Structure 1
Amino acid sequence: MSTLKDRLSDGLYGAGWAVVKKLPEPVAVGLGRRIADFTWKRRGKSVLRLEANLARVVPDASPERLAELSKAGMRSYMRYWMESFRLPTWSKERVGRDADIQDSHHLLEGLAAGRGVVLALPHLANWDLAGVWVTRSLGVPFTTVAERLKPESLYDRFVAYRESLGMEVLPHTGGSAFGTLARRLRAGGLVCLVADRDLSASGTEVSFFGDTARMPAGPAILAQQTGALLLPVTLWYDGPDMLRGRIHPPVDVPESGTRAEKTSVMTQALADVFAQGIAEHPEDWHMLQRLWLSDLEERPEPAAGAGRDGERGA
């Protein structure tokens, strides 16, 4: 049975998709910034967690600098939402103008070879817009995974939204997502996974900004089992109208070692690329939850709230 909070969340997201996309763009942009600044000024748990995470990314930052970064981070986060609410109305030309992903040859060459490709990326900037760029600018469909949110109606909204953008969406739990992903890859398809936060508590430990975190093992295991290329991706905002990104060279499967050892090496390689991208654009890293194991030990935290890890899969 859904709670009042669940129904309220569903109603708010539903209103966002129904109303925000109809607003004049300057109004929507201004609304997003006002919401971000109001939320930042309240200094709630999400803002404080973002600031604590950023303190690890920029360890020499003064309190004033961290405050600036967290404020910019909340603005970037709300920009993601305002853009995402409006993405279904964007034309192919608009997507091509406002998104520029470098080194796409890694992806296209892998698909042309029939190997299948796994794109793995962190919670940077707007991964939904990057996904639309893949489906519309490159004309390549892909499969992703979404956290099964509560209430079910909210999860259904996210699935319908992403499917309207040309994505196949599988539930993170309660199904056979891994097997379906493997079949898509063996058929030479594309899989896109957000991979900087483990939702299963059984991920792979990595060194990340000087401490231990846990990241999903799925991307590395899929690459090992299917022969697909594993390509890290980083994204960032460049000014008010542009999303930029880079598809990095493949993470190779080690020639020796057990599956667990190979998975550890490959996941650490992903983490290293993610860390580089996050360090270059910390204000665009939308990590509002606990990530490092030492932080998780302080107080257990439920897996992502409505709309963040489920929004892009894990």
Structure 2
Amino acid sequence: MAYSSGRVVIGFCDFVGGIVPLGLLYAFGRFFGWAGYAFAVKHRRIAIESLTMAFGKTKTPQEIRRICRECFNSMACLAVEFFMFMKHPERIKKFVDIEGIDNLKKALAEGKGVVAISAHFGSFPLLLSRLAQEECKVNAVMRHMRDQKLDELFEDKRRLMRVGSIYTQPRQTCVSQSLKVLRDNEVLFVQLDQNFGTGGVFVDFFGVKAATATGPIVFSMRTGAPIVPMFIYRLGGPRHRIVIEPPIHVDESGTKSERLLHAVERLTALIEKYIRQHPHEWGWIHKRWKARPKEEKQGAMAAAAGDVDIDIA
């Protein structure tokens, strides 16, 4: 039932994005955002909890709720806007500026491919489409969607915009395809901002340890491909700006574990910087801090055991 409803919503966004005049498109988006904030109670609660984790010491509850509403509006506008741009690709160059394209071209000139690091921040599908228009061969690493029909729909859209898809499962296929992309001197786009369960490493994210993947950095170390962080945010209405940061190479000093940790810390700090500047552009409905470090769990268990001993005594 949930998947059927999702297909209906996506189908309606596709329809609206194709026929509604640009001036009215964002009014539709804001309406959907209001509806999502009002009725998606579970996701609203997660977003407010996440925002409180990040900004509880610096922002009031009223400010946090305002950012939460803006986040829902942003997600809804991005949804209808995505389909509008897919139906009118000629508008992408007109409305999406790129700052730092020379950084990407300089990195590709090394001939080892590029590991592009970003986040679920702003209209990242639009970022990929815009890079493809710059004659960059772009491939995005992503999870399969739970609904196969929606999965196929979005893969078709990406193919239409000349963006390749590399799925995280099966794992070995993902690894081999990713390495091939880099050896072919193409762009491997990876989002480094989601909870990585018990894998990866724990680094500070808004002052709280968060499980973060190391795979993209391993790819860079294995192939020599530079890491190029890039982000997209809205300037207003349909206008967006892509910022491509200077290339980063993984430090060569220290153990492999130390090099991995330092690179992940540096990239996570950069992601946090952009989220702080544009907090409504990030997907706060994701449980970024769900996984906890082993030592933290052990401490909680020891404290609980201590409580039990006291109670028994």
**TM-score (normalised: structure 2):** 0.87
Once residues 291 and 111 of structure 2 are traced to their aligned partners in structure 1, the CA distance between those partners, rounded to angstroms, is: 42
Query: Which string of whole-angstrom CA distances, capped at 9 and with x for unpartnered residues, describes residues 74-94 of structure 1?
Result: 1111111111122212233x2
The alignment status of 1:120 with 2:117, answered yes or no, reads yes
Which of 88, 94, 99 is 1:97 aligned to? Answer: 94
The answer (yes or no) to whether the contact 1:57–1:282 under 8 Å persists in 2 is no
Q: 1:157 aligns with which of 138, 153, 157?
A: 153
Match of 2:14 in 1: 17
* TM-score in terms of structure 1 length: 0.86
Whole-Å separation in 2 of the counterparts to 1:67 and 1:295: 26
Partner of 1:301: none
Note if contact 1:197-1:215 (Cα within 8 Å) is conserved in structure 2.
yes
2:68 maps to: 70
Which residue does the alignment assign to 1:81?
79
Match of residue 163 from structure 2: 167
Deviation at 1:226, TM superposition (A): 0.8
1:109 maps to which of 93, 102, 106: 106
In 2, the alpha carbon distance for the partners of 1:218 and 1:21 equals 37
CA distance in 1, matches of 2:144, 2:89: 29
**Contact 2:99–2:244 under 8 Å retained in 1:** yes
What is the one-letter code of the residue matched to 1:106?
Answer: N
The ranges of structure 1 where at least 4 consecutive aligned residues each deviate by more than 3 angstroms after the TM superposition are: 198-201, 293-298
Matched residue, 1:145: 141
Amino acid aligned to 1:221: V
Query: Which amino acid letter does the alignment assign opposite residue 4 of structure 2?
Result: R
CA distance 1:294–1:215, shift in 2 (3 Å): closer
Please give the alpha-carbon distance, in whole angstroms, between the structure 2 residues aligned to 1:5 and 1:79: 21
**Match in the other structure for 1:57:** 54
Separation in structure 1 between the aligned mates of residue 16 and residue 28 of structure 2, nearest angstrom: 12
Could you tell which deviates more after superposition, 117-126 or 150-159? 150-159
Greater alpha carbon shift after TM alignment, 196-205 vs 238-247: 196-205
Question: Does the C-alpha gap of structure 1 residues 246 and 169 become closer, same or farther in structure 2, counting only changes over 3 Å?
Answer: same
Q: Which residue type is aligned with residue 152 of structure 1? A: Q
Matched-pair contact (CA < 8 Å) for 2:118–2:190: yes
1:303 is aligned to: none
Q: Is the 8 A contact 1:14 1:157 kept in 2?
A: no
Q: 1:102: how far off? A: 1.1
**What is the Cα deviation at residue 18 of structure 1?**
4.0
Q: Which stretch of the first structure deviates more once superposed, 243-252 or 8-17? A: 8-17
Q: What is the aligned residue count?
A: 293
1:175-190 matched pairs, under 5 angstroms = 176-190=173-187
1:216 equivalent in structure 2: 213
Q: Is the 8 A contact 2:129 2:161 kept in 1?
A: yes
Q: CA RMSD in A?
A: 2.2
Q: Deviation at 1:64?
A: 1.2
Unaligned 5+ segments in structure 1 are 299-314
Q: What is the one-letter code of the residue matched to 2:161?
A: L
